[in-house]
Structure 1
Amino acid sequence: MTALLVAFAAVLLVAVLVSRLAGRTILSTAVLFLVAGFVLGSGVTDVLPLTPEDGVVGTLAELALFAVLFTDGMRAGWSDLRSAWRLPGRALALGMPLTLGVTAVLAHWLVGLPWAESLLVGAVLAPTDPVFAAALVGNEKVPQRLRHLLNVESGLNDGIALPFVVVLLAVASGSQELELGTLGTELAVGLVIGVVVPLVAVRLEATRFLAASRAYEPLTAVAIGLLVLGLGQATHGNLFLAAFAAGITTATVGPRQHEAFEEFGELVSELLKLAALLVFGALISPQFLAEIPFLGWVLALAVLVVARPVALFPSFLGTPLTVREQVAAAWFGPKGFASVVYGLLVLDAGIPAGEEIFHLVALTIVLSILLHSSTDVVVARWFDGPKETPAWHDGERAPTSAGGPPGGGASG
């Protein structure tokens, strides 16, 4: 644990120091943590000899995904969704199921997984993560509708994929009807907790006698999240669905609490994700990669370059998106942190094909982080407008008239 803490702190410091450079080049902090974990992990330096069975792996992954889903839900309040829902709705309602289906077909045909396990692979790899396309999503020169599409889609698809992962995992493990009923109860309890706790908390703060001070305002959402986490564990409700529902409910009924928490919450979520990426990298040893057959590598690449484009292009027929915007949206479906945790859930479930599925999922995520994090700046530059004429250039030419530049041409 001490080695992990020191390693994370050291890599975090390096990431902070190079963050400005990473923002304008193909360098990526996500790749930095992934590669650092790989180098420090088993089979290379053995500084962090972690295995999926280690308690710190599961605990950190669970906390990180809870924080991610809570903040994702915070970005998806109903008022925000109603303002521009059409394009993200197409991506989620049509593109996401098609992505799941195409991925399942590829998994079945290429590596021979049974259909239940193939669909499980599709569900685990369906969510996307905007963190690995930060230069695209954060670039104001990229059309707002494209940035909104990617943000809303990635904010919602983690939570939407969760029930599919849980149900398909139960099917793949051969659960009986009673166990599936228990599963439904866990999902329902998680949903109720995620809706009721924020509603009560926000209503209490709105009464005449209770109010948070300015300094404590960001902690309202923190308290809501921690209470949802504790109640979910105590009642055996599904923690992840509870977190997602709590985020959406808080953003919907408590816009002031949402605004106060937004920046702080994103930082906490980012720290947990980076720590989890370091641990995930430590699990990907050279031996781990060598165990994946050739067709497994083909599948991982096909998921990235075939499944999402095949699914999204028909989803955007008739929309105002340009071809360039559609290509950017189709390419930037990076497999993010939710897929890491869902893959660990599959491994922990002990199903016969669990280890094979985890290998395939982990490889796809690694390739996605490397490819998407190193191309977001390049693709974002597609949307740069024409370069402005330097100020010194204009200064050397006196206009022939008050109306424009020499020659009467149109102003650039």
Structure 2
Amino acid sequence: MEHLLVGLASIVVLGIAAQWISWRLRIPAILVLLVVGFVAGPVAGFVHPDALLGDLVFPLVSLSVAVILFEGGLSLDIAELRDLGRVIGRLLTVGALVTWALSTVFAILLLGLPPGIALLFGAVLIVTGPTVIIPLLRHIRPTARVGSAVKWEGIVNDPVGAILGVLVFEALIAGGLEAGLSVVLPGMLNAAVMGTLIGLAAAGTVVLLMYRHWLPDYLESPVALALVFMAFAGANHLQQESGLLAVTVMGSALASQKLVSVHGIVEFKENLRVLLIAVLFIILAARLPLTDPDYFGVGSIGFFLALVLVVRPAAVLASTWGSSLNWRERAFIAAMAPRGIVAAAVVSIFALELVEAGQAEAGRLVPLIFVVIVGTVGVYGIFTPLLARLLRVASPDAKGMLFIGGCPWARQAAEILSDLGIEVLIADSNRGNVQAARSAGLRTYHGNVLTEGALDEIERQMDGIGRFLAVTPNDEVNALATVHFRELFDSSLMYQLPPEETERERRQRGIPQHLRGRTLFGDDATYAYITQRLGEGAVVKRTKLTDEFDFDAFRAHYGDDALPLFSVKESGDIIIYTTTSPPSPKPGQTLISLVDPVD
């Protein structure tokens, strides 16, 4: 019992530690998780998932994948299909068929697999999956068009590939490919219908319970999770692997409806997804056998290279031919097809049952799928972020700023930041402020930022934006905007001006600290104070600090009333000054500050 407890705790701790290391080093989390899991499992022998969990390994993996796919479905808003619906549809049909066909051919030619086993392996390789795609997209931060296309393909292809694999498997068991055609076509139709209907019914149940207020707030996420499990298990009972489609449809339906807000469910599932992905990849890597002839065989390496260099580009080319995507966007999509935990789980089950049925060659599928998973995650995880930068379709280090409020001093600061190559977006409901910002060549959004539609529209303009600054004259609006945009920004990158009132008055008015952003510039740097300084002739100015004219010299020249706002390093990184991180700029940095003119 104690050994089991230590083993389970170790998997969770190692997974979360790997996630933290990847965040600190700014590298894809999947790579760190695979390395940590492999070292803890087959190398050190510290973690043994099969010994710890026994027959529960695959059921627990399946339920975890169901939650991850549901969370992925929550990010699939049908409105995204208006622009790229044709491309996404062709990636899910033409692209899937090309991948299946070419993977099957290469499996026969390079791996020497029998046609039936090769056809099964090719079907499973359609799966890319959100367990890998979503963390990579979060790391790369591609532009909205290509990000949406890759996201939709990765999430929806998971159930499609898994269902197709199951049907090919059933065809093999039924007596070969000729007899199996009668199994595959009705099975695909049945899985599509059952998965869609059950997913819509589960989503409708959640919406009804919330719309009628039949659930307290604290039960909304647990009930949604219970319905995810119910939909997954129920659909799988009726048609094997159709549960993956059911939970994906359920998530997308909830994301697309407008009757109730599901932000609480989304936030809960996002946190759960981080934990589940960490645990799943530690388990996956820890189950890898240490040695196998297929790991480093010429055929295995050739097959992996064919997947990356031939199969994926051919599938994308066929799917995007004649579309509005430019060559850079197509090249990025062609460099994003990593395989993950779903492919490993499905292949492991198929291989076990086919070997028991007398098809010994099926036993090779397990090491082969691990070669594909480790290889594609490694190649795409390392090289795709670099390729995205070269193709200019992503902003991995989003340094730009979203200003909520376009007052004069904010526009002056935004102009300086823009001149320094920093992306800036100004959002304001005041038409005069917006027009003045546009006249200065700045990107803008005109409208009430607290509406649901504004959140979606601003998100589509956020290429290169990674920091949030609420600088309106209304403290309540600043606090509400901070809460409203929390799903788009990390809390450590959200800032707002200090309130006009005292701490005691603020507590009495009921604006708790956890609803606020980090306090900008200083406790006295309120909107009224900065506006008054501007009225008295102060300006926002940039100053290049040097060894001869450092920060002390700056203070001596402009006096103690100078208010440092930001500093930009030579690397382009920005430091935003707050009450907890006072200014200490170094020579070589560009200081942006509010200063009085000096003769």
- Give the structure-2-normalised TM-score: 0.58
Q: Do structure 1's residue 14 and structure 2's residue 17 form an aligned pair?
A: yes
- The equivalent of 2:67 in structure 1 is 67
- The equivalent of 2:147 in structure 1 is 147
Greater fraction of residues in helix = 1
* Separation of aligned partners in 2, 1:354 and 1:324: 39
Tell me if structure 1 keeps the 8 A contact 2:40–2:47. Answer: yes
Alignment of 1:57-206 (within 5 A): 57-82=57-82, 84-129=84-129, 132=132, 137-138=137-138, 142-174=142-174, 180=183, 187=191, 189-206=194-211
1:243 alignment partner AA: V
- The equivalent of 2:291 in structure 1 is 287
The offset of 1:281, in angstroms, is 0.6
How has the CA–CA distance of structure 1 residues 360 and 319 changed in structure 2, closer, same or farther, with 3 Å as cutoff?
Answer: same
The offset of 1:82, in angstroms, is 4.2
The offset of 1:152, in angstroms, is 1.4
1:202 alignment partner AA: V
Match of 1:360 among 339, 347, 368: 368
CA deviation profile, 1:12-54 (whole Å, cap 9, x unmatched): 342343243343xxx3321222122211223x22222345993
Tell me if structure 1 keeps the 8 A contact 2:210–2:220. Answer: no
CA deviation profile, 1:111-159 (whole Å, cap 9, x unmatched): 2223222221112111224564668634797432111111111121112
- Higher-Rg structure is 2
SS across alignment from 2:174: coil
1:98 alignment partner AA: V
How has the CA–CA distance of structure 1 residues 306 and 61 changed in structure 2, closer, same or farther, with 3 Å as cutoff?
Answer: same
- The equivalent of 1:260 in structure 2 is 264
Tell me if structure 1 keeps the 8 A contact 2:19–2:33. Answer: no
Identity %: 21
The offset of 1:66, in angstroms, is 1.4
How has the CA–CA distance of structure 1 residues 245 and 322 changed in structure 2, closer, same or farther, with 3 Å as cutoff?
Answer: closer
Greater CA drift, 154-163 or 360-369: 154-163
2:307 alignment partner AA: V
Tell me if structure 1 keeps the 8 A contact 2:130–2:151. Answer: yes
How has the CA–CA distance of structure 1 residues 290 and 62 changed in structure 2, closer, same or farther, with 3 Å as cutoff?
Answer: same
How has the CA–CA distance of structure 1 residues 140 and 195 changed in structure 2, closer, same or farther, with 3 Å as cutoff?
Answer: same
- The equivalent of 2:408 in structure 1 is none
- The equivalent of 1:49 in structure 2 is 48
Greater CA drift, 363-372 or 127-136: 127-136
CA deviation profile, 1:370-411 (whole Å, cap 9, x unmatched): 111222431232226999469546999xxxxxxxxxxxxxxx
Greater CA drift, 294-303 or 230-239: 230-239
* Separation of aligned partners in 2, 1:102 and 1:138: 30
How has the CA–CA distance of structure 1 residues 249 and 359 changed in structure 2, closer, same or farther, with 3 Å as cutoff?
Answer: same
* Separation of aligned partners in 2, 1:80 and 1:173: 40
CA deviation profile, 1:66-124 (whole Å, cap 9, x unmatched): 11222233333434434541222222222221112111111111122232222211121
Q: Any unmatched runs of 5+ in structure 2?
A: 396-417, 423-541, 550-599
* Separation of aligned partners in 1, 2:35 and 2:163: 31
1:200 alignment partner AA: T
* Separation of aligned partners in 2, 1:326 and 1:361: 26
The offset of 1:229, in angstroms, is 4.1
Greater CA drift, 303-312 or 186-195: 186-195
- The equivalent of 2:5 in structure 1 is 2
Q: Do structure 1's residue 223 and structure 2's residue 231 form an aligned pair?
A: no
Alignment of 1:213-252 (within 5 A): 213-229=216-232, 231-232=234-235, 238-252=242-256
Greater CA drift, 264-273 or 94-103: 264-273
SS across alignment from 1:287: coil
How has the CA–CA distance of structure 1 residues 114 and 235 changed in structure 2, closer, same or farther, with 3 Å as cutoff?
Answer: closer
SS across alignment from 1:319: coil
Greater CA drift, 127-136 or 108-117: 127-136
* Separation of aligned partners in 1, 2:244 and 2:131: 19
CA deviation profile, 1:169-190 (whole Å, cap 9, x unmatched): 112233578x949967984655
Could you say what the CA RMSD is over the residues aligned between the two structures, in angstroms?
Answer: 3.5
SS across alignment from 2:215: coil
How has the CA–CA distance of structure 1 residues 373 and 130 changed in structure 2, closer, same or farther, with 3 Å as cutoff?
Answer: farther
Tell me if structure 2 keeps the 8 A contact 1:75–1:155. Answer: no
Tell me if structure 2 keeps the 8 A contact 1:221–1:258. Answer: no
Q: Do structure 1's residue 272 and structure 2's residue 280 form an aligned pair?
A: no
Greater CA drift, 147-156 or 46-55: 46-55
* Separation of aligned partners in 2, 1:285 and 1:342: 17
The offset of 1:304, in angstroms, is 2.0
2:119 alignment partner AA: L
* Separation of aligned partners in 2, 1:153 and 1:387: 38
How has the CA–CA distance of structure 1 residues 102 and 54 changed in structure 2, closer, same or farther, with 3 Å as cutoff?
Answer: same
Tell me if structure 1 keeps the 8 A contact 2:127–2:162. Answer: no
Tell me if structure 2 keeps the 8 A contact 1:73–1:246. Answer: yes
CA deviation profile, 1:278-327 (whole Å, cap 9, x unmatched): 11111213223666632122112211222100111232222232222211
- The equivalent of 1:408 in structure 2 is none
- The equivalent of 2:585 in structure 1 is none
The offset of 1:231, in angstroms, is 4.1
* Separation of aligned partners in 2, 1:229 and 1:62: 9
How has the CA–CA distance of structure 1 residues 88 and 235 changed in structure 2, closer, same or farther, with 3 Å as cutoff?
Answer: closer
Match of 2:322 among 313, 318, 329: 318
Aligned residues: 390
- Give the structure-1-normalised TM-score: 0.81
Alignment of 1:329-368 (within 5 A): 329-351=333-355, 352=359, 353-368=361-376
* Separation of aligned partners in 2, 1:85 and 1:291: 39
Tell me if structure 1 keeps the 8 A contact 2:126–2:161. Answer: yes
Structure showing greater relative contact order (alpha-carbon pairs closer than 8 Å, 6 or more residues apart): 1
Tell me if structure 2 keeps the 8 A contact 1:347–1:354. Answer: yes
